[in-house]
Every structure is written in C-alpha cells, then in structure tokens.
Structure 1
Amino acid sequence: MDRQELAAFLRSRRERITAADVGLPAGTRRRTPGLRREEVAQLAFISTEYYTRMEQANAPRPSGEVLAGVARALRLSDSERDHLHRLAGAPLGPRTGPTREVRQSIRDLLDRLPNAAGIVLSATYEVLAWNALAAALMEDFSALAPRDRNLIRWVFLRPDAGAYGLSDVQEFALAATRRLRATSARYPDDPQIHELVAELLAGSAEFARLWESHDVCTAPALKKTFHHPLVGAITVDCDGFDITDTDQQVVLYTAAPGSSSDEALRLLSVIGTQRMDVPG
C-alpha cells in the first residue's frame, strides 16, 4: 500500500469533481475547488474521519467495500478505479460488470453531429454520454443525479415524468426488459445489476410481469416520435451502434432532411435546454 501516492491521487480526483456533478447543491461558500471531504465520505458511505485520514496518508488499508464506495463517489473511470486499488494494495481481479467509462473519441463523435441527437447507453440503460441536441430533445441529463439517468429505471419507476412524449413507451419498456435480462446473464456477479433488478421488481408490477417471461431478444425500433412541449411532434429514425469492447451502444436520432421534424430538430439545436414555456 502506497499511502502517500494514494492520498495525493484522492485529493486530485476530489478537486476535479463539482457538487453539481454528483447532484449536490453548489452553495456559495466553497473556498477550494471540487467536493469537500465530508461530501465524498457521505457519497461513499464511510466516515468523514476515515476519508480524511486516507487523504492525510495515515489510514489503515481500506477494504474493498470502502474502495468501491470512494471510486463511485469520485466518479472514477475504469482505469482510475484500477489505479486506486493498486495504490491501496488491493488490485482488482477480472471485471464482473459492464464498464461505465465512455471513450473520449465517442464523446467527440457525438459533439460532431450537430443535426443528430445522440446518447451512449450502458448495458443497463444508463445514459453515460449525450450531446447538446439530445439534452434539448429528451432531458438535461447533467441536471440529474447519475442514478436518475437510467432509462429503464425512468420508464418503470417514473411513469409521471412524461416519458419524453414518446409514442412507443410500451415497446421500449419491453425491449429494455429483454435486454436487461440478457445483460444480467452476461454479468451474473455484478451487484449493481442485482440491485437494479430488485428495485424494478419491487417498484413496478409491469416490469415484474415482463421479467417473468424470460424473453431476451427483440426487434429494434427504427422510428420514434417525440412529442416535445415546445416544438411539437418530432418523428426520427432511431439507429443503435454497438461498441462491442465496452458493451455500450451509441443511439442516434435523426430526421429526414427537409422534413418538418428536421426543421424542429434544427430549432431545438438553437433553443437548447431553456424552457421558453415558463415565465422568467
């Protein structure tokens, strides 16, 4: 265990995370960049005293549960998480769950598609990355806590959220359940998948019914219609591209050139995520 390097690494990662990144109020009295130590401890479900000792290089060797909590709280990438474990003298074995790290080249790709709304989904329907048009069309994901960016959690546990005005909510719910069933078989030891499935089973009778069918394949939805509160109905082609080495999927929503939906998307790219229907 390299306590000095571990302490320096933790401080550097903490200082780069803002309160907004983890769904905490920013406040006005922050004297240092990033999160406070007590905020990291709270997010990691450990005591502030223990986390402080880790950053001061005088804590005993942390357990695997502590390291997992700290990695989650600091939003570490897969490579950073592996580095954290090596510094703590507890290198990880083979990965048991899907990665949540999106390559920078994929993020750059989304930003280079100004006329397409694009998102990156994990194997469990977490929205891991998005471009500005996707935020305008669907939701400002940056304003949500990471756990609330999960589309399968959203469709079954937030039925009053408006479903982005989608015309095929039931079809999406069916496809998402089938994909999650296949994902759970690929990663049988991933505790986050077990937790997600248990939460959905307890919170949604419809999910429980679909889950019990044990279906794992479905035809992809090639078109969707969003009913946006500002620009009305937008019918788009929906294309998914698998990133096989990360078990992720890039989903692009595009409209036929010259169509009314294409014009609506172009208008949304100008409006962005502002709410023009709400008095200022």
Structure 2
Amino acid sequence: MSEVVDTRSVRTQRRAQLSAFLTSRRAKITPGDVGLLPGSRRRTPGLRREEVAQLSGVGVSWYTWLEQGRDIRVSGEVLDAVAGVLRLSVAERTHLYVLAGLNPPVARGSAVEVTAEIRALIDGWVRGPAVVRDRYWNIVAFNVLAGRVFGCDDGEPHNCLVTFFTSPRYRELPDLWSDAAPGVVAAYRADAALVPHDDEFQRVASELAAAEPEFAELWERHDVGAPVQAVNALHHPEAGDLYFDATTLTVADHPHWSLVLYNPKPNTDTADRLAALPRLRLSESA
C-alpha cells in the first residue's frame, strides 16, 4: 500500500526548517561584517531581524514573518537579497530556495571543473562508454570508449539530445531509433520542467525543432518521463551495430550533472566489437 503524503504537514515542517535555518545564519553575521556599528546594548548574537530587513531592502514585518515560518509569498529576488546579506554559500542559497518552496536558480558564471575523482571514475569504467552531462545534456566529460563510440573526441561540443536526432550513428538503425525517440524527448522535457524559468532548455529545444521536424513533432506532445534506461543502439562506422544498456545516475557533488554508464547489451556481440575498436584505430594509423 503506497504511503499518502500530507502536503500540508510537509509545508509546515519545511517552514519550521526555514525559520531555524535563517535564525542560525543571522546569528553568524556580526554588525561589522556588513558595515554596521556594534552598539553597546546589543544582546542578539549576530544581526537583528530589522537589520537584515533593512540591508535586504524589505519590510521588517515581512522579514520577521519569513523567519518565523509564516505562510507568505516569496520571490527569488528577495531570497537573493537575503542570501547576500547573510553571506550564504551556493549550497546554503540553494537550501534557502528549497525551504521557501522555490526552484533553486541555475548557478551562473564559469564552468565547474570536472574533479579528479569523477575523471578517475569514468576512466575506470572499462566495460563501455561513460559520460558526464550537465542539466541541459551537454557532455562535460567522457572516457576513451565514449569518444570513439559516440564521436565525442572530434573536438566539438556535444549535446546528447541534439546528437540523438542528428548523428547518422543513431539514425542508421531507424526502427530502434523510432522506438527510443519519444522516451528521449519526454525525459528532456521532464528535466526542463524542473527549472521552468531557465531559457537554455527552450533554446536547445527551439533550435533542434527548427532543424529536425521529427523532434518538433515529439516536443509538441508535451510528454514527460523518467531518464531513459532503455536499450541504446547505434551503428558505428568501424565497429558496426552496437547495443547498450544505459544507467543514469546523479553526481552527488554536482546534482545538476548526470553520470551515464553504458554496458554492452547481453546476448549481442557488442563487447567483442568494442574490444576491436583499439585495433581498428591502430590499423588506421599504421
């Protein structure tokens, strides 16, 4: 029997956590940290509520209600202002958004470097290709086999959604491609729905729809689905037909990244064909 979630209870618990979180962060900031004089009769550790409100540009009553966990409307702009006054880290700012019931904004700025640990993980995946993709499905890291199988090693940026619809390697197995395409598009729309105000998803989809009518038709269905765990199949120009089971995992340190691991499909000769790829490359350069 499935458990029924009491949404009212969840909201109440979340507001209580929001109250405790803001109170604890406020206590860590001294008046001197924000250019205020400490005063001689200060009893409150850290900043007072009215000081946070003034520095954030919001009303004292409104900020008091926010910190008390009242059921009030909040905006991202106000949360950003409060986060700035309280000097919240990226993780803390995201936590503030979640507790306030808003989708955390996408971190902007320079690209996050792939850590040595993630690099070692995908390089150590020798059974098949392995890629790390960002929230828009852009590939940010890949192992040697992924480079050779998917063509990621050509020096060009790759987006998994765009590649699926435009690469001859996928389209040369038309029946399998047609079966998989609706699920691929539904998974991308589900990811886009998590951050409805992020224009980058729409940019990728709009440009692909203009170039590929089949994608445009599927995109207009507004279907949504879980990350595709189905069989991935493609025709490699050297190794021939390759079939994989793919598993998508979230990278804990970077929750907007996904790690996709590919296993050769059982009862196919994919593993043997992959093993021949290095030899094919060596024979090319001989």
Give how far 1:164 is off.
7.1
Q: Distance in 2 between matches of 1:98 and 1:153?
A: 23
* Partners of 1:125 and 1:176 within 8 A in 2: no
- What residue in structure 2 maps to residue 137 of structure 1? 149
- What residue in structure 2 maps to residue 72 of structure 1? none
Give how far 1:259 is off.
6.4
Asked if residue 249 in structure 1 is aligned to residue 261 in structure 2, the reply is: no
Asked if residue 238 in structure 1 is aligned to residue 246 in structure 2, the reply is: yes
Give the number of the structure whose alpha-carbon radius of gyration is greater.
Answer: 2
Q: Distance in 1 between matches of 2:242 and 2:213?
A: 30
Asked if residue 116 in structure 1 is aligned to residue 128 in structure 2, the reply is: yes
Letter of the structure 1 residue corresponding to residue 154 of structure 2: A
Q: Distance in 1 between matches of 2:218 and 2:280?
A: 38
- Map 1:21-32 to 2 at 5 A: none
Give how far 1:132 is off.
0.4
Give how far 1:118 is off.
0.8
List per-residue Cα deviations over 1:224-266 (Å, max 9, x = no partner).
3332222222333322223354232222222268963222111
**TM (normalized to structure 2)?**
0.53
* Partners of 2:180 and 2:230 within 8 A in 1: no
List per-residue Cα deviations over 1:199-219 (Å, max 9, x = no partner).
123223222221222111157
Question: What is the number of equivalent residue pairs in this alignment?
Answer: 183
Unaligned runs of 5+ in 2: 1-83, 95-103
Structure with bigger RCO (C-alpha 8 Å, 6+ apart): 1
Letter of the structure 2 residue corresponding to residue 130 of structure 1: F
* Partners of 2:169 and 2:236 within 8 A in 1: no
Q: 1:235 to 1:196 in 2, by over 3 A?
A: closer
- What residue in structure 1 maps to residue 170 of structure 2? 163
Q: 1:216 to 1:138 in 2, by over 3 A?
A: same
* Partners of 2:238 and 2:280 within 8 A in 1: no
Q: Distance in 2 between matches of 1:240 and 1:196?
A: 21
Of 198, 212, 225, the match for 1:217:
225
C-alpha root-mean-square deviation of aligned residues, in Å?
3.5
Q: Distance in 1 between matches of 2:221 and 2:263?
A: 33
Give % identity.
23
Q: Distance in 1 between matches of 2:268 and 2:216?
A: 40
Q: 1:112 to 1:97 in 2, by over 3 A?
A: same
Unaligned runs of 5+ in 1: 1-85
